[in-house]
Amino acid sequence: MEILIVLGLVLAGAVYLAVRSNRPGDTTTPPSQSGVYEKPKLTTNQRQRTSQPQRFDPDHRLPKPDVTILTGSAYVVDGDTLVIKKTQVRLFGVDAPEMSHPYGKKAKWALVSLCKGQKVKAEITEQDSHGRTVAKCYLEDGRDLSAEMVKLGLAIDWPKFSGGQYKSMEIPDARKKLWLANARQNGHMGLWKKYEEKQAARKLND
């Protein structure tokens, strides 16, 4: 009788262990030879999944470059505008006449002459209020195209954007010759309107 009781207890214990080991979420392993239950060792992947995710640190973002550089042959649009690698670039800090204004065509061809056969380097600084790319543009020998156009008397310094960088390079009568560009800088756009109305009337009479 005692033997039957012992066998019954052993069988019941075996059934209990079998059921326990198959329970979902059980984190124990079968007993070791010493009879002590041990927690399973996690693999590297399991430790990574159970660890808390790190919060994003904005200070770890790579800084945005202050200057983007374009280099290549330049197609000249007018006295202060180029196209390099399909990007329209406005010369930094200066104002040249529009093509339909006095000295406009002369300014364009002067810039064409400067850029001919050259690889122009454009260091982009910003975009203007019209969405155009503004850049400091240099010839292969290091000459600044904005400075060269001002020295030729075919562009004037625009202090609002240049901080007066090119003012000392202006020839004495530059603002008198480029009076419409000067008017734009001073906010006198009414002079532009009157000039363009006269030009339109002249074409009709011709």
Neighbouring C-alpha atoms within 13 Å toward the C-beta of 90: 21
Q: Is 87 helix (H, G, I), strand (E, B) or coil?
A: strand
Compute CA distances 49 → 43, 56, 70, whole Å. 10, 17, 45
Q: Is 197 a catalytic residue?
A: no
Query: What is the C-alpha R_g of the chain?
Result: 39
- Cβ distance 87 to 73 under 8 Å? no
Please report, in angstroms and rounded to a whole number, the separation of the first and last CA atoms in the chain: 134
| Identified catalytic residue from 20, 49, 123, 132 | 132
- Cβ distance 146 to 93 under 8 Å? yes
d(CA 28, CA 30): 7
Q: Is 175 a catalytic residue?
A: no
| Identified catalytic residue from 20, 55, 90, 184 | 90
- CB-neighbour burial class of residue 95 (10 A; exposed 0-12, middle 13-18, buried 19+): buried
d(CA 10, CA 135): 88
| Identified catalytic residue from 23, 38, 98, 175 | 98
Active-site annotation, residues: 90, 98, 132
